[in-house]
């Protein structure tokens, strides 16, 4: 029986994307061919991790990455979600099995280089071969819609502009914004480094100063149109400067957390395929997330105007993507041309992600 290097598989798996680089997972090596992924989420402090859905999607991205990583050693990976887990602490049981003749997945070389491009990208049109590759990567259970013409990109940029205002005037989002950026950094192991955020350094300095205190944010928003500069740089210009926007939506309604995990697997295949095509890629999840709140009739904020603005974002989203209010949507993003970013998020070291039994018991308070 061929030996498997499980650490190598997990080491590659670490590069899976997660919302704000939160890496909501730990690994427990339970045997020579078995691993448990201990999932978690950030809903207790992150407004965007609505019902833990983005974290479930990140778990899916991780599982898909581990599956692809295993093909380097000609192994297949089977997994199951353990029955009866807490909703906020899903455990995925993984088993690897060498298979004669199993070839390396073509997406394998892109696991580590795949990353977010938040800056403006080249807008030369996507070829039909590129679009087909992205649609195929999502798989048969998903529809991938594109918005690529100048007029369509303008409409999406307007949606992003509107959604970004909600993000910036919402006091409940402040804690997230304060926590997730590593200021002054080009690389960050557990957050988003400043230089990957997508603003110039002057705006970054202003953001850093303002984000130190919610009162400053509120004052700037109220009296100095404080949302305008970041929205132009982070949302409106990138919304225009790309080859197109896309929406991945499931053919069937989403019924369980497992369906979110599956959507995350599709997202990661599309993202890795974009990397394989040499395309830059950025998720655009805030309008999707605000629409989830609205679809469930959940308030985003204690401030009524913020909730009213979220309802308007959801309506605009439906208009842009020609969807009914109830239609499920999993993942929105943009792709474009150009050199890869010079700044990116890194990951926690593998040894920081591997836990032993004692740690698991301590973290669970036992």
Ligand X SMILES: Cc1cc2nc3c(=O)[nH]c(=O)nc-3n(C[C@H](O)[C@H](O)[C@H](O)COP(=O)(O)O)c2cc1C
Q: Measured between alpha carbons, how far is 183 from 188 in angstroms, rounded to an integer?
A: 10
Stretch 118-157 residues interacting with ligand X (CB under 6 A): 118
Region 178-207 residues binding ligand X, contact defined as CB under 6 A: 192
Contacting range for ligand X; rule: CB under 6 A; set: 86-94, 114-122, 214-222, 306-314: 114-122
Interface with ligand X, residue 24, by CB under 6 A? no
40 contacts ligand X (rule: CB under 6 A): no
116 binds ligand X (CB under 6 A): yes
- Output the CA–CA distances (angstroms, integers) from residue 86 to 29, 44, 89, 293, in the order listed: 21, 14, 5, 22
Q: In this chain, which stretch among 200-208, 282-290, 294-302, 305-313 interacts with ligand X, using CB under 6 A? A: 282-290
Q: Any idea what DSSP says for residue 122?
A: B
**Does residue 49 interact with ligand X by CB under 6 A?**
no
Residues contacting 102, CB < 8 A, separation 6+:
71, 74, 75, 76
Query: How far is it, in rounded angstroms, from Cα 161 to Cα 235?
Result: 6
Select from 227, 286, 301, 343 the one that contacts ligand X (CB under 6 A): 286
Shortest CB 284 distance to ligand X, Å: 6
Residue 288 buriedness (CB in 10 A; 0-12 / 13-18 / 19+): buried
Q: Whose Cβ is closer to ligand X: residue 36's or residue 182's? A: 182
> Which residue spans within 99-258 are E strands per DSSP?
142-147, 181-182, 187-188, 192-193, 244-250
Of the pair 20, 194, the CB lying nearest ligand X is at 20
Binding status of residue 257 toward ligand X by CB under 6 A: no
CA distance 238 to 117: 10
Instruction: Select the span of 50-58, 142-150, 159-167, 215-223 touching ligand X (CB under 6 A).
Output: 50-58
At closest approach, how far in Å is the CB of 138 from ligand X?
15
Whichever of 48 and 96 has its CB closer to ligand X, that residue is 48
Retrieve residue 286's tokens. 């805030």
The least distance separating ligand X from the CB of residue 192, rounded to whole angstroms, comes to 5
Is residue 352 within 8 A of residue 176, CB to CB? The reply is no
Rounded to whole angstroms, the Cα distance separating 81 from 93 reads: 6
Does 283 contact ligand X by CB under 6 A? yes
In degrees rounded to 5, what are phi and psi of residue 144?
A: -115, 115
Find the distance separating the first CA and the last CA of the chain, reported in whole Å: 38
Report in angstroms how near the CB of residue 326 gets to ligand X at its nearest. 21
What residue is closest to ligand X based on CB? Answer: 17
Residue 241, helix vs strand vs coil? coil
Residue 344 is a binding residue for ligand X (CB under 6 A) = yes
Contact between 17 and ligand X per CB under 6 A: yes
For ligand X, which residue of 6, 108, 115, 131 counts as binding (CB under 6 A)? Answer: 115
Task: Give the relative orientation of helices 150-169 and 304-321 as an angle to the nearest 10 degrees.
Answer: 160
Question: Residues 73, 188, 167, CA angle at the centre, nearest 5°?
Answer: 110
Q: Does 162 bind ligand X (CB under 6 A)?
A: no
Distance from C-alpha of 69 to C-alpha of 71, rounded to nearest angstrom: 5
- When the beta carbons of 148 and 163 are compared against ligand X, the nearer one is 163
Per CB under 6 A, does 20 bind ligand X? yes
Q: Does 18 bind ligand X (CB under 6 A)?
A: yes
Q: 239, 269, 67, 98: which is closest to 157 by C-alpha?
A: 239
Instruction: Count interface residues toward ligand X (CB under 6 A).
Output: 20
Out of 13, 24, 54, 230, the residue judged to bind ligand X by CB under 6 A: 54
- Binding residues for ligand X, rule: CB under 6 A, are 17-21, 54, 57-58, 61, 115-116, 118, 192, 282-286, 344-345
């Amino acid at each position: 029986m061929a030996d498997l290097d499980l650490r190598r598989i997990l080491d590659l798996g670490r590069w899976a994307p997660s919302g704000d680089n939160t890496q909501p997972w730990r690994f427990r090596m339970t045997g020579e061919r078995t691993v448990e992924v201990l999932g978690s989420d950030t809903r207790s402090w992150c407004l965007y991790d609505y019902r833990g859905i983005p974290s479930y999607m990140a778990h899916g991205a991780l599982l898909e990455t581990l599956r692809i990583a295993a093909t380097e050693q000609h192994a297949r990976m089977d997994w199951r979600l353990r029955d009866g887990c807490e909703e906020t602490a899903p455990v995925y049981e993984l088993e690897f099995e060498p298979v004669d003749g199993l070839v390396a997945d073509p997406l394998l070389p892109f696991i580590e280089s795949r990353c977010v491009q938040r800056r403006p990208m080249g807008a030369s049109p996507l070829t039909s071969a590129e679009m087909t590759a992205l649609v195929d990567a999502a798989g048969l259970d998903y529809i991938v819609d594109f918005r690529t013409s100048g007029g369509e990109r303008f409409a999406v940029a307007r949606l992003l502009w509107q959604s970004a205002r909600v993000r910036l005037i919402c006091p409940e989002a402040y804690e997230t914004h304060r926590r997730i950026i590593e200021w002054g950094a080009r690389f960050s192991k557990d957050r988003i480094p400043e230089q990957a955020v997508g603003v110039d350094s002057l705006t970054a300095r202003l953001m850093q100063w303002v984000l130190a205190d919610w009162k400053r944010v509120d004052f700037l928003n109220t009296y100095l149109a404080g949302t305008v500069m970041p929205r132009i740089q982070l949302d409106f210009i990138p919304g225009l400067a790309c080859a197109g926007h896309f929406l991945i939506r499931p053919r069937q309604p989403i019924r369980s957390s497992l369906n979110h995990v599956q959507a995350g697997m599709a997202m990661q295949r599309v993202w890795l395929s974009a990397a394989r095509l040499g395309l830059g890629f950025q998720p655009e999840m805030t309008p999707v997330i605000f629409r989830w709140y609205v679809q469930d009739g959940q308030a985003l904020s204690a401030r009524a105007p913020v909730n009213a603005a979220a309802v308007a974002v959801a309506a605009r989203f439906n208009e842009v993507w020609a969807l009914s209010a109830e239609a499920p949507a999993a993942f929105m993003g943009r792709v474009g041309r150009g050199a890869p970013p010079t700044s990116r998020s890194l990951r926690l070291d593998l040894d920081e992600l591997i836990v032993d039994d004692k740690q698991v018991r301590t973290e669970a308070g036992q």
